[in-house]
Structure 1
Amino acid sequence: LILVGGFVQLLAGFLAFRKYDHLGGAAFLTFSALWSSYGATRIICAGPVSGHLLNIGAGNTEGFTAGSVAFLVLNAFLIILASSFNVVLLCVTLAMELLSVCFLLFTLENLPLPFEIVVLSIFSILCFYGATASLANCMFGKDLLMMGPPLFTAGSSKKDPQDPPPCVCPKSHCTSGLRTIAELLNTGAVCGVPTDTVYALAASCKHPQAIEKVYRIKDRPQEKPICIFISNLDQLRAAAPPISPLLWEFMENVYPGGIGCIIQKGEWLKKLGVGAGYSRVGTQDSIMIRVPDLTVLVHLIDMTGPLAITSANPSGEVDSTHHDMVISRLGHKLEGVLCDGESDEVVASTVVNCTKIDEGGITIVREGCIPAGKVMQIFERVKNR
């Protein structure tokens, strides 16, 4: 059980580093080393044969004693640092200090069993919660399990005024805010916008240089295509794309919503209003189109025309699920962010390849907020009508 605790600490450390939490990562990895060492030593010493072979016993524990004292001092500094980080990390470091005392008493052959049991129980609970919280918060990109505020925060005695946001950040419920973002997009700006899944970067399809800027802002590989959002399916019908009745019916069943359909690209996109950005959206042969199920975004598209859309996060990182995440991560590179609070989902949309729908059916390219099984159920229902 003790060795399992060491593994949990190791996992928590790697997760903390993944979230750029260097203090938490260093602390958890250090704790993993001591936790595992303590467990291994206890297991070895429990066996008279193994303890004798490794020469661990009475009179031969000076090195372990010195190591315990050294870690007590090191962990004291970690406690001070953790107090300015979060409550969970502070509690773990305090429990680790008690565990170090256990290790020290063990090397001195003066460890009361009840004390050891209590310390190990407390530490195990804290480690389990800390690792679970780190895993959940890292996977979903937001604080699902609270880690607690810092006990101490560094700050000046004179409170500084709040720094202004790095870009224009109007509220989504204000008509003026919607107009502000629409005007920016219509002049070739790149803005962060809410969607019915996660936050996205938007650029007008009339401005190819804005779409190019999206790639630079995200560090997005050029070979990864960008999709377009339209406000309703009637816009697509007006462009008269060569779409089969089966595909029309499938799209009528999935739009609006968190499913994007990849269809054949063609000159009809220019009738849709894509304009000069034709070559910068989709691939040479196909394009993903989605109709979002979010009123504010639909109104915005009505004011701007089709928008080139991609998730509002640096390429390879977790999606942004709140406008604050967009502002803090990419705000200095954007002209505006339409603030709409928490997103409705924590993952992006599901992408379906419909280019061969009349020949071999559909293919799930990316499973997102809509499960693949549900998408296939919709398709089978439509196909069998």
Structure 2
Amino acid sequence: MEMVVVCFLLFTVESLPVPLEVAMLTLFSLICLYGATASLANCVFGKELLLMGSPLLRAERAEKESKPLPPCVCPSSHRTSGLRTIADKLTIGGVCGIPTDTVYALAASCKHPKAIEKIYRIKDRPQEKPICIFISNLGQLREASPPFSPLLWEFMENVYPGGIGCIVQKGEWLKKLGIGAGYDHVGTKESIMIRVPDQTVTVHLIDMTGPLAITSANPSGETDSTHHDMVISRLGHKLEGVLCDGESNELMASTVVNCTQIDEVGITILREGCIPAAKVMQIFEKVKNHRV
């Protein structure tokens, strides 16, 4: 082929001798004949009977790629059946990714200690880091009759539902709340963080399952998941399901507030998240001044 190309160039500038021109055309004809014969034979018999070599140019054929199946069930949050599917998975002890009013989270039923333990393995989360709980409304908390001060109740009324989690003293009242067998697997020995999410889908899910043990849906130490596709790609192969709700409402997790000594020394911001620390303190000062 290199010789043919050279001869073509010489022919173009009218410097190709006639005998060489004849030889070139003969050679080119033989190459074309061999190529046509080899292509036909290889196509008919479905294998390379006559060697062709690698192509000089490759034509990319556009083929519709079939979308790979997700590693777990991934129903839409916009359908009641999708919500029921995830609720059923959680009720029997599964771990699922769910949307919240902040970023996506991993959820397990507080009635299944093994499911809460599985969350730690899925995330490779250090055991010393406690897991919080989500409830659907403040009335659910009142029915459990925790020994909270009037100041704490009023503060909660001003921050729930929303992206603020309150750490409170732990007690037997949590079992009335529906924590059950998961009591020793959420929070610490002395305290627990409780949050009421401001997300209709999440609240409906909690109403179906009871309180949920919650932590962010990402491998420990990595960034938060802000879309259900991130949860599926990062952790889907370890989960029973992911409730798909598109983009998350926030790019940051919730703000965590220590309220265990709210009457003695006030509140402490342990983690500033989607709600600025200044706003939280402003709410607290307003509540405290209201009670004076």
Partner of 2:96: 191
How far does the alpha carbon of each residue in 1:54-89 deviate from its partner, in whole angstroms, 9 at most, with x for none?
xxxxxxxxxxxxxxxxxxxxxxxxxxxxxxxxxxxx
- The structural deviation recorded for 1:200 is 0.2
Matched, 1:182 2:51: no
Matched, 1:347 2:264: no
The one-letter code matched in structure 2 to 1:282 is: G
Q: Which has the higher helix share?
A: 1
RCO comparison, higher one (Cα < 8 Å, 6+)? 2
Matched, 1:319 2:213: no
Partner of 2:157: 252
Distance in 1 (alpha carbons) for counterparts of 2:160 and 2:269: 16
Which of residues 274, 277, 282 is equivalent to 1:372?
A: 277
- The structural deviation recorded for 1:282 is 0.1
The one-letter code matched in structure 2 to 1:273 is: G
Which of residues 273, 298, 302 is equivalent to 2:203?
A: 298
Partner of 1:118: none
- The structural deviation recorded for 1:158 is 4.1
Show structure 2 runs of 5+ residues with no match. Answer: 1-59
How far does the alpha carbon of each residue in 1:115-164 deviate from its partner, in whole angstroms, 9 at most, with x for none?
xxxxxxxxxxxxxxxxxxxxxxxxxxxxxxxxxxxxxxxx8754442110
Distance in 1 (alpha carbons) for counterparts of 2:175 and 2:61: 57
- The structural deviation recorded for 1:299 is 0.2
Percentage of pairs with the same residue: 82
Matched, 1:206 2:111: yes
Which of residues 184, 187, 191 is equivalent to 1:286?
A: 191
Distance in 1 (alpha carbons) for counterparts of 2:61 and 2:237: 25
Aligned to 1:315, what secondary structure does the other structure show?
coil
Partner of 1:163: 68
The one-letter code matched in structure 1 to 2:129 is: K
Once superposed, what is the RMSD of the aligned Cα atoms? Answer: 0.9
Distance in 2 (alpha carbons) for counterparts of 1:359 and 1:220: 33
Aligned to 2:197, what secondary structure does the other structure show?
coil
- The structural deviation recorded for 1:168 is 0.3
How far does the alpha carbon of each residue in 1:291-332 deviate from its partner, in whole angstroms, 9 at most, with x for none?
000000000000000000000000000000000000000000
Aligned to 2:280, what secondary structure does the other structure show?
helix
Matched, 1:267 2:137: no
- The structural deviation recorded for 1:343 is 0.4
Q: How many residues align?
A: 231
Show structure 1 runs of 5+ residues with no match. Answer: 1-154
Listed as ranges, the matches of 1:92-103 within 5 Å are none
Which of residues 240, 243, 255 is equivalent to 1:338?
A: 243
Distance in 1 (alpha carbons) for counterparts of 2:191 and 2:286: 25
How far does the alpha carbon of each residue in 1:10-34 deviate from its partner, in whole angstroms, 9 at most, with x for none?
xxxxxxxxxxxxxxxxxxxxxxxxx
Aligned to 1:384, what secondary structure does the other structure show?
helix
Partner of 2:147: 242
Partner of 1:328: 233
How far does the alpha carbon of each residue in 1:275-304 deviate from its partner, in whole angstroms, 9 at most, with x for none?
100000000000000000000000000000
TM-score (norm 1): 0.59
Aligned to 2:269, what secondary structure does the other structure show?
strand
The one-letter code matched in structure 2 to 1:302 is: D
The one-letter code matched in structure 2 to 1:218 is: K
TM-score (norm 2): 0.78
